């Protein structure tokens, strides 16, 4: 079946502009994660959605970052007033269950490469 998809694959934006990144998880996966991969910081957790529960936003680096997940499926990560340090690859992942006792691996999308000029 289809994997996790993300769009756009690449985004170049000017400093101060807002950007929206989209993630389509695997059908039936209840848990969705956003991560950021940058040269200086490696892979960092940003935010987590599980069903209708309140999201875990503990990884968001500032209040310029926000995310939504509509209808328990598609998610959008929004970065307002982008800064150069926001340049990174933004990865989305989904899994059947977030239960820590399970071995359910997270399936990652191809990522969105964001460049802020």
Site residues for another protein per CB under 8 A = 31, 33, 35, 42-45, 48, 50, 56, 58-59, 89, 91, 93, 95, 97-111, 113
3-state SS of 5-23 is: EEECCEEEECCCCCEEEEE
Which of 21, 49, 54 lies closest to 33, judged by CA?
A: 49
Q: How far is the CB of 12 from another protein (least distance, A)?
A: 17
Q: Residue 82 or 109: which CB sits closer to another protein?
A: 109
Q: Residue 58 or 70: which CB sits closer to another protein?
A: 58
Radius of gyration of the chain (CA): 14
Q: How far is the CB of 16 from another protein (least distance, A)?
A: 27
Q: How far is the CB of 27 from another protein (least distance, A)?
A: 18
Which of 50, 90, 55 lies closest to 73, judged by CA?
A: 50
Q: How far is the CB of 102 from another protein (least distance, A)?
A: 8
Q: Residue 16 or 98: which CB sits closer to another protein?
A: 98
For residues 97 and 9, is the Cβ–Cβ distance under 8 A? no
For residues 112 and 23, is the Cβ–Cβ distance under 8 A? no
């Amino acid at each position: 079946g289809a994997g996790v998809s993300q769009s756009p694959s690449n985004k170049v934006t000017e400093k101060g502009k807002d950007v929206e990144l989209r993630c389509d998880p695997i059908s039936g996966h209840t848990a969705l994660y956003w991560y950021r991969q940058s040269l200086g910081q490696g892979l960092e957790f940003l935010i987590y959605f599980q069903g209708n529960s309140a999201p875990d936003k503990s990884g968001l680096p500032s209040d310029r970052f926000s995310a939504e997940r509509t209808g328990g499926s598609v998610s959008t990560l929004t970065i307002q007033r982008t800064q150069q340090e926001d340049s990174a690859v933004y990865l989305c992942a989904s899994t059947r269950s977030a239960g820590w006792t399970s071995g359910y691996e997270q399936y990652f999308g191809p990522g969105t490469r964001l460049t802020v000029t």
